[in-house]
Amino acid sequence: MTPTTKDVLVEAKRLLVEKGHTKGMFARDAQGYMVHATSEKAVCYCAFGALRAGASRLVGESACNEWIMKAVDALEAQGAKRLIKFNDSHTTEDVLALFDKTIAATP
């Protein structure tokens, strides 16, 4: 089954809720150091890092960029303007609310 943009958004939000949210880096390890978003050592993510990790899990690392950009476009259409800036200037609750709003608006 081919995933949808909504599937990527739902998976990214799940990661943010279950593993945690961060600012300033795509993903961090348990010591707070930067790691790749798809690393097994990642213990928290920024919004973009969660999209990368989620899309990678759904479609594989080599095919995930297209899905990430579709999800970023959907989030930015719901008010994020620039997702990375939004992530770093808003609370975790704001980021999760943006994901909820975007998931609800995405077919």
Task: Provide mean pLDDT across the span 74-88.
Answer: 96
Task: Provide mean pLDDT across the span 41-48.
Answer: 98
Q: Is-contact 73 6, C-beta < 8 A?
A: no
Contacts by 90-93 with C-beta closer than 8 Å and gap 24+?
92/16, 92/21
- Token reading at 1: 């089954």
Q: What is the mean pLDDT of the chain?
A: 97
Q: What is the pTM assigned to this prediction?
A: 0.96
Q: Is the pLDDT of residue 49 over 80?
A: yes
Name the nearest CA neighbour of 99 among 38, 19, 12, 5.
12
Confidence of residue 103 (pLDDT cuts 50, 70, 90): very high
Confidence of residue 55 (pLDDT cuts 50, 70, 90): very high
Cα gap 57→69, rounded to integer Å: 15
pLDDT by residue (tens digit) across 25-40? 999 999 999 999 999 9
Q: What is the pLDDT of residue 100?
A: 98
Contacts by 50-54 with C-beta closer than 8 Å and gap 24+?
50/12, 50/13, 50/15, 50/16, 51/8, 51/9, 51/12, 52/26, 53/12, 53/15, 53/27, 54/8, 54/9, 54/10, 54/11, 54/12, 54/14, 54/15
- Token reading at 103: 């998931």
Confidence of residue 58 (pLDDT cuts 50, 70, 90): very high
Q: What is the pLDDT of residue 1?
A: 74
